[in-house]
Structure 1
Amino acid sequence: MNGDGVIEENVAQQETHDTQNTHTPQAIYHDSSQYRHWRFSAEELHEKRAAANGKAVAVTRAGWDEEKELNPESSLSTSITPPSVQEEDDLIVYYLSQIRPICNLFQFPENVEATAMTYMKRVYLANSVVDLHPKRVMLTSLFLATKTVNTPISAADFAKYVGKGKISAESILDIEFLISQNLRFEFATHPAHRAAWGIYLDMQTMASRQSQQVLDGVYAEVRQLIRVSRLTYAELIYSPSQIALGCFSMVNKGLLDEYVGWKKTEFGAEEPNANAVEGVVNLINIHKSRGGLKKEAVQDIDKRLKLWQDPSKVEGTAMYKKKQEQAEQEDYEKRAKRQLEVERSNYDGESVFGEALPALKRSRTNEGVEEEQEQEQEQNGSQQVKQEI
């Protein structure tokens, strides 16, 4: 991955240009979440991938140590070599390459393919294949992309045709929210093939334009190169237009130079960043020189990946049982807490006016006391009369 400092240089140039001419309209891309949150240098990408790999390996090792303490007879072996960062990338690229055939199966538009691949690469900026297997991420990313680019399909139909009965809709939906979280719920993407389409249309309006047949042939090759670029981290380093320019440069540099000169003369466009264009070309050439990853190599990495798992995720291990018990205990405590809240709510509803008051004794007024005194006097007087008689 080349192009170190290209992003910073581009940002500096853009800020300088904006300062000089505040009336120049800002490109839509520069207001996007992709521009603000999903661009990195080659070093930053390597650091992120290495950090994700290191964290996953450390968690698994710690889990194995705890498994040995709980079950000394455990068959787990720390002698297994964990997948390296490069092996993780190879596995990710292999499953990225499986997206196109699936899209062809469903006849999805190219935007679905490009978006799904973007989602998958973004997920693995902070995750390792040890934590999330690329096959699961690939399928869910593709299903999510069908919705975000308005080409929806039901999860049941998607699982039926992709897995041929071996994949359930639940397994695809299970990590959909997790992937959305890793994407920061920023689903809009700016794929390079749309930038290439714009350049192709522009070239048809040049005064000294090539024949339509030549332009069509160039554009067809450019599209193929852009598909190759999706199997690299190019879109996480360079802008869509830089990737498109790099692909045109690889197909017909003379035509691209003519196009750039025409844009500068007629529209006052700036010179493209030569380092960025060259960086895109290098990434594509490096990927092409490797000749693709053989299925046998992928199977070997995948086999070791299955062995290199956190024991708390492997059924039958002491760690798995412990995790299940903890989950059951937490669930019990949550249900008990909810039941207590319900009982308190019912009690508060019944005693909304407070507790029942005790019966109060009837109070006597002054008038009542005087009446009683008069009655006593009358009774005493009548008794005296009876005695005299």
Structure 2
Amino acid sequence: MFSTSSQRKFWTFSDEGELAILREKHNLNYIAKHGTHIDEYQRYNFFLSPDEERLLLKQYELHLKEFCKRFSPPMPKGVVGTAFHYFKRFYLYNSTMDYHPKEILATCVYLACKVEEFNVSIGQFVANIKGDRDKASDIILNNELLLMQQLNYHLTIHNPFRPVEGFLIEIKTRCSLANPERLRGGIDEFLEKVFLTDACLLYAPSQIALAAVLHAASKEQENLDSYVTDMLFREAGQDKLAVLIEAVRKIRSLVKMVESPAREKVRLIEKKLDRCRNQENNPDSEIYKRRMRELLDEDDIPHTGSSRMSLDTSGVTQVLSPSAS
């Protein structure tokens, strides 16, 4: 149950201000650690600001959504929701300058596949990634333990999809709404957008699910207010009902504010990131390759060149068998 889960206890925060404080703290920690040789005035131009990190992560959340949407074989919604949770949690306590989002993104999706029992091999998984697939496999597998550690091994995720089904069953049996199934399109659209916000770090899955149902009903020009007040929460006190209504209002407001970052801004931030990122965690750097050789106790690791891993968000890549990829 969500109420007794690690998600409720450790990963549900009081408000957006608390999230902003955490993100700013780890941005400043990175700069303090890696900027000792840089004049304080120049640090602003060299390192990413918290706002730049947020903008970059918003872009990579869009990449995550598209990657999952185009994944072959088709990916269940639960995997997508879990991957988003992992991605958002990781960057509450880490900077994009320490770990590049494209590498953590792929690892989050791969781990979510495992946790949600969507059985794809690493070969099948990286067949959906452009570029050097052997290198992509190495990056994902090398980051998997790091990701689990940063999540404090709290891997079970409560997504809003199950509560949505519960609400639809209730509406079918207790409401006079004609053909409740017609709400599904609006619900799916809402939930797709809600993961581009911080709602999953602030609200219970049932609150997010109810916001999705009410959004879909309003799109169909239906009013479910009486269902919420007279049936669903008839025995709840006015205080609890007021809290719920405010939560639903804020969730819907967050979704309304979703917009894509300006491409030019993101491009400039990514150029800046290439300069200021931690080279010890950059698979293309000599420092990283030397560290891998030392960890593996091998002197001759084949040179992988400068080919980069690139998430395929432009189209569905044909899925190859592990032996063919």
TM-score by length of 1: 0.65
Q: 1:36 aligns with which of 9, 13, 31?
A: 9
Q: 1:216 matched to which residue of 2?
A: 181
CA drift of 1:237 comes to: 0.7
Distance 2:185 2:27 in 1: 38
Amino acid in the other structure paired with 1:96: E
Contact 1:48 1:126 in 2 (8 A): yes
- Residues 114-172 of structure 1 show CA distances to partners (whole Å, capped at 9, x for unaligned) of 10010000001110100011101100000000000001222122123323435431111
CA drift of 1:187 comes to: 0.7
Amino acid in the other structure paired with 2:105: M
Contact 1:159 1:172 in 2 (8 A): no
- Residues 274-304 of structure 1 show CA distances to partners (whole Å, capped at 9, x for unaligned) of 22112112211222xxx31243332221111
Q: Is the alpha carbon distance of 1:246 and 1:89 closer, same or farther for their aligned partners in structure 2, counting shifts above 3 Å?
A: same
Higher relative contact order (CA 8 A, sep 6+): 2
Q: 1:56 aligns with which of 12, 30, 34?
A: 30
Q: 1:281 matched to which residue of 2?
A: 252
Contact 1:64 1:310 in 2 (8 A): no
Amino acid in the other structure paired with 2:136: S
Q: How does 1:262-281 map to 2 (within 5 A)?
A: 262-265=231-234, 268-269=235-236, 271=241, 273-281=244-252
| Count, aligned residues | 280
Q: Is the alpha carbon distance of 1:133 and 1:314 closer, same or farther for their aligned partners in structure 2, counting shifts above 3 Å?
A: closer
Q: How does 1:68-83 map to 2 (within 5 A)?
A: 80-83=45-48
Distance 1:36 1:46 in 2: 19
Cα RMSD between the aligned structures?
A: 2.9
Q: 1:135 matched to which residue of 2?
A: 102
Q: 2:158 matched to which residue of 1?
A: 190
Greater shift in the superposed pair: 93-102 or 146-155: 93-102
Q: 2:141 aligns with which of 156, 173, 186?
A: 173
Distance 2:60 2:260 in 1: 12
Q: Is the alpha carbon distance of 1:59 and 1:198 closer, same or farther for their aligned partners in structure 2, counting shifts above 3 Å?
A: same
Contact 2:97 2:273 in 1 (8 A): yes
Amino acid in the other structure paired with 1:38: W
The answer as to 2:128 corresponding to 1:199 is no
Distance 2:52 2:224 in 1: 36
Q: Is the alpha carbon distance of 1:127 and 1:262 closer, same or farther for their aligned partners in structure 2, counting shifts above 3 Å?
A: same
Amino acid in the other structure paired with 2:252: V
**Partner of 2:223: helix, strand, or coil?**
helix
Greater shift in the superposed pair: 233-242 or 54-63: 54-63
Amino acid in the other structure paired with 2:7: Q
Q: 1:17 matched to which residue of 2?
A: none
Contact 1:80 1:307 in 2 (8 A): no
Q: 1:225 matched to which residue of 2?
A: 190
Greater shift in the superposed pair: 126-135 or 153-162: 153-162
Q: Is the alpha carbon distance of 1:194 and 1:297 closer, same or farther for their aligned partners in structure 2, counting shifts above 3 Å?
A: farther
Q: Is the alpha carbon distance of 1:313 and 1:147 closer, same or farther for their aligned partners in structure 2, counting shifts above 3 Å?
A: closer
Distance 1:315 1:64 in 2: 24
Q: 2:66 aligns with which of 101, 109, 112?
A: 101
Distance 2:90 2:280 in 1: 23
Distance 2:282 2:157 in 1: 36
Q: Who wins on radius of gyration, i.e. which is larger?
A: 1
Q: 2:21 matched to which residue of 1?
A: 47
CA drift of 1:204 comes to: 0.5
Contact 2:99 2:277 in 1 (8 A): no
Greater shift in the superposed pair: 245-254 or 172-181: 245-254
Q: 2:208 aligns with which of 239, 243, 267?
A: 243
Amino acid in the other structure paired with 1:278: R
More helix by share: 1
Q: Is the alpha carbon distance of 1:148 and 1:315 closer, same or farther for their aligned partners in structure 2, counting shifts above 3 Å?
A: closer
Q: 1:305 aligns with which of 231, 249, 273?
A: 273
